Chain A
Amino acid sequence: MSKITYKTHDDKTHTIDVQNGLTVMEGAIQNDIPGIDADCGGGMSCATCHVYVNEDWLDKLPVKEDGEEDMLDMAFEPKKNSRLSCQLIVSDTLDGLVVNIPSKQG
Chain B
Amino acid sequence: MNKTDVLIIGAGPTGLFCAHQLGIIGLTCEIVDNLDKAGGQCIELYPDKPIYDIPAIPECTGEELTNNLLKQIKPFNVNFHLNQRVEELKKVENRWHVRTNGNKEFDVASIVIAGGVGSFEPRKFPVKECKKFEGNSLFYAVKDKTIFKDKTISIFGGGDSALDWAIELSNTSKVNLIHRRDGFSGAEASVQKVKALSEQGKINLYTKYQLDCVVGENKINSVKIKHDEGEVKEIKSDYVLGFFGLIMQLGPILDWGLNINKKTVEVNTENFETNINGLFAIGDICSYPGKLKLILSGFHEGALAARGCFKYAKPDEKLRFEFTTTSKAAQERLGIKK
Decide if B228 touches A73 in the complex (CB within 8 Å): no
Q: Does any Cβ of B come within 8 Å of A77's Cβ?
A: yes
Cα separation A70 to B159 with both chains bound (whole Å): 8
* Residues of chain B at interface, number, CB under 8 A: 25
With A45-B46, A104-B126 in contact, is A73–B247 under 8 Å at CB?
no
Q: Are A80 and B185 in contact (CB under 8 A)?
A: no
Evaluate contact between B45 and A40: CB separation under 8 angstroms: yes
Find out whether the CB atom of A41 lies under 8 angstroms from the CB atom of B293: yes
**Set of chain B residues within 8 Å of A39, measured between Cβ atoms:** 117, 247-248
Q: A43 and B46 in contact (CB under 8 A), knowing A69-B183, A70-B159, A76-B126?
A: yes
Determine if A45 and B49 form an interchain contact, defined as CB atoms under 8 angstroms apart.
yes
- CB proximity to A under 8 Å, residues B246-267: 247-248, 263
Least Cβ–Cβ distance between A65 and chain B, in angstroms: 13
A43-B245 in contact given A73-B157, A73-B181, A74-B123 (Cβ < 8 Å) = no
Query: A37-B263, A46-B247, A69-B181 provided; 13 other pairs, C-beta below 8 A?
Result: A40-B41, A40-B45, A43-B45, A45-B46, A69-B183, A70-B183, A73-B245, A74-B245, A76-B123, A77-B126, A77-B210, A78-B180, A106-B124
B179 interface hit (Cβ, 8 Å)? yes
Contacts of B245 in A (CB 8 A): 47, 73-74
Interfacial residues, chain A to chain B (CB-CB below 8 A): 37, 39-41, 43, 45-48, 69-70, 73-74, 76-78, 80, 104-106
A12 to chain B, nearest CB (A): 18
Is A73 in contact with B179, judged by CB distance below 8 angstroms?
yes
B244 at the interface (CB under 8 A from A): yes
Whether B248 contacts A73 by the Cβ 8 Å rule is no
Question: Contacts A37-B263, A39-B117, A46-B248 given: A73-B49 contact, CB under 8 Å?
Answer: no
20 CB contacts below 8 A, A to B, read A39-B248, A40-B45, A41-B284, A43-B45, A43-B49, A45-B46, A48-B247, A69-B183, A69-B185, A70-B159, A73-B159, A73-B180, A73-B185, A73-B244, A74-B159, A76-B123, A77-B126, A78-B180, A80-B228, A106-B247
Closest to B62 in A: A45
Smallest Cβ distance from A82 to chain B, in angstroms? 9
CB distance from B251 to the nearest CB of A (A): 13
Instruction: Closest B residue to A41 by CB, please name it.
Output: B293
Which secondary structure dominates chain A's binding surface? loop
Query: How far is A105 from B248 in the complex, measured between Cα atoms in Å?
Result: 11
Which residues of chain B come closer than 8 Å to A43, judged between CB atoms?
45-46, 49
Query: Which B224-260 residues have C-beta < 8 A from chain A?
Result: 228, 244-245, 247-248
Q: Which 10 A-B residue pairings sit nearest by Cβ, starting from the closest?
A: A70-B185, A106-B247, A45-B45, A74-B245, A39-B117, A77-B126, A41-B293, A73-B158, A74-B244, A45-B46
Whole-angstrom distance between the Cβ of A32 and the nearest chain B Cβ: 8
In chain B, residues 132-188, which have Cβ atoms closer than 8 Å to a Cβ of chain A? 157-159, 179-181, 183, 185
The distance in angstroms between the C-alpha atoms of A94 and B133, with both chains bound, is: 43
Bound CA–CA A43/B49 (angstroms): 10
Tell me which of A37, A69, A74 has the highest count of chain B C-beta atoms within 10 A of its own C-beta.
Answer: A74
Give bound CA distance, A12 to B96, whole Å. Answer: 44
CB-defined contacts of B263 to chain A, threshold 8 Å = 37
The answer for the CA separation of A105 and B284 in the assembled complex, in Å, is: 19
Q: Most chain-A CB neighbours within 10 Å: which of B124, B179, B180?
A: B180
Complex Cα–Cα for A39 and B249 (A): 10
Residues of A within 8 A of B126 (CB): 76-77, 104
Q: Please, which residues of chain A bring their CB within 8 A of the CB of B284?
A: 41
